[in-house]
């Protein structure tokens, strides 16, 4: 179950939220990962199962659907692990963004699917113009903006469309569900400042589970 305490007495891997809807998606993801080698084809094949999770009610605990004042992403943004493979190859998590709040510009570094479970979000996607040879700098331009509501989702296939930020545009917090082929909150990713070109490493952490080295 989700827990905002930081002693983490409960399990940190496997099904942190054990619901039939989550198990169905993870089982289908495991099956398709073994059966389909190409990332783009695999993500496309996962769309029905992911859409079914977004369309279902009642499986997300309210403890995984609230803001987190201690968030490393700022703005009260809460990131809650729902499922984590112990080898770091897959995770499912909820991201709660309060009304009017926005995430930093960031990347994900893994293929996956992201969809809206509650509320509404505005997404701004960036295209990288430089070759990435300087880890501390990046030249970005906006490549796409879109608004998404309940049940709508998009795919992630790095390096294309992997850098973005989202803003909640509903009167209530937005909750997005992320299925990604890494342990997203515990890998070192990148925070971007498009206006200055500055890139800094960051790790967002889960509100309800520790990272392998003991970090949150």
pLDDT of 149 > 50? The answer is yes
pTM of the prediction? 0.92
Return the axis-axis angle of helices 39-55 and 20-35, rounded to nearest 10°: 170
Mean pLDDT computed over every residue of the chain: 93
Q: Render pLDDT for 74-123 as a digit per residue (tens, 0 to 9).
A: 889 999 999 999 999 999 999 999 999 999 999 999 999 999 999 999 99
CB 41 within 8 A of CB 25: no
Q: Render pLDDT for 31-57 as a digit per residue (tens, 0 to 9).
A: 999 999 999 999 999 999 999 999 999
Instruction: Mark out the alpha helices in 56-211 (DSSP H runs).
Output: none
The residue assigned the tokens 């190859």 is 89
Task: Assign 3-class secondary structure to 105-119.
Answer: EECCCCCEEEEEEEC
Average pLDDT over residues 186-215: 92
Phi and psi torsions of 7, nearest 5°: -85, -20
- Token duo for residue 139: 């030249």
Higher pLDDT, 2 or 156: 156
Q: Considering just the CA atoms, what is the radius of gyration of the chain in Å?
A: 16
pLDDT of 73 > 90? The answer is no
Q: What are the distances in angstroms from CA 127 to CA 99, 104, 153?
A: 26, 16, 19
Write down the CATH number for the domain with range 14-202.
2.60.120.10
């Amino acid at each position: 179950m989700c827990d905002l305490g930081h002693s983490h007495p409960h399990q940190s891997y496997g099904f942190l939220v054990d619901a039939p809807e989550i198990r169905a998606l993870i089982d289908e993801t495991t099956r398709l990962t073994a059966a389909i080698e190409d990332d783009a084809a695999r993500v496309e094949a996962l769309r029905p199962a992911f859409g079914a999770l977004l369309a279902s009610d009642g499986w997300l605990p309210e403890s995984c659907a609230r803001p987190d004042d201690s968030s490393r992403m700022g703005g009260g943004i809460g990131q809650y692990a729902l499922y984590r493979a112990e080898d770091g190859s897959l995770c499912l998590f909820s991201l709660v963004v309060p009304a009017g709040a926005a995430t930093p510009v960031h990347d994900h570094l893994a293929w996956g699917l992201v969809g809206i479970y509650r509320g509404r979000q505005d997404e701004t996607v960036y295209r990288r113009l430089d070759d990435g040879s300087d880890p501390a700098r990046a030249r970005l331009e906006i490549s796409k903006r879109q608004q998404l509501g309940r049940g709508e989702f998009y795919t992630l296939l790095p390096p294309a469309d992997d850098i973005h930020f989202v803003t909640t545009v509903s009167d209530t917090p937005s909750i997005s569900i992320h299925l990604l082929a890494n342990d997203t909150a515990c890998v070192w990713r990148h925070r971007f400042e498009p206006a200055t070109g500055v890139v800094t490493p960051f790790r967002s952490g889960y509100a309800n589970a520790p990272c392998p080295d003991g970090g949150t």
